[in-house]
Amino acid sequence: AQSVSQHNHHVILSEAASLELGCNYSYGGTVNLFWYVQYPGQHLQLLLKYFSGDPLVKGIKGFEAEFIKSKFSFNLRKPSVQWSDTAEYFCAVNAQSSGDKLTFGTGTRLAVRP
C-alpha cells in the first residue's frame, strides 16, 4: 500500500518569501501525484497534478511541483507567496494499480504574514 509523508506540519512565512513544501511517498510502482489546497472553511481544490511526462508541473496561482522519481518526492514550490496563500496544503498519491483511491499526507498549514 502507498503512504505519503509531509514533514512540515506548520510553516510561517512573510509575504514575498519563497515556499517549498516537502512531500515524499512510498510505493514501488507507477503513481499519479497531486497537490490540493484547502482555504479556511472551504473544500479541497486541485492545485496541480502529475501523471507522466515533464516532471516539472505548473499549477494554478503560480505554484509548481517537481517529481523526482529517484527520491520518491513531489515537492511544492512558489517563488513569492502572498497573504492569500494562507491555507492548508495536502499532497496525495494515487497508485495507478489502485484505481482512483487517493492516499493523502497529513497536510501542511501555511500562514503568510502580510
Give how many residues touch other proteins by CB under 8 A: 27
Q: Can you list the positions of beta strands (E) in 1-107?
A: 3-5, 10-14, 19-21, 24-26, 31-38, 44-50, 56-58, 64-68, 73-78, 87-95, 103-104
Contact call for residue 84 and other proteins (CB under 8 A): no
Choice between 45 and 82, CB closer to other proteins:
45
Q: Which of 19, 59, 94, 112 binds other proteins (CB under 8 A)?
A: 94
Please report, in angstroms and rounded to a whole number, the separation of the first and last CA atoms in the chain. 41
Using CB under 8 A, which residues numbered 4 to 33 contact other proteins?
4, 9, 30, 32
Handedness of CA 90, 3, 53, 8 (dihedral sign): positive
Contact call for residue 77 and other proteins (CB under 8 A): no
90, with CB counted inside 10 A (0-12, 13-18, 19+), is buried
User: x/- site string to other proteins, residues 35 to 74, per CB under 8 A?
Assistant: -x-----xxxxx--x-xx----------------------
Binding site for other proteins (CB under 8 A): 4, 9, 30, 32, 34, 36, 42-46, 49, 51-52, 90, 92, 94, 96, 99-107
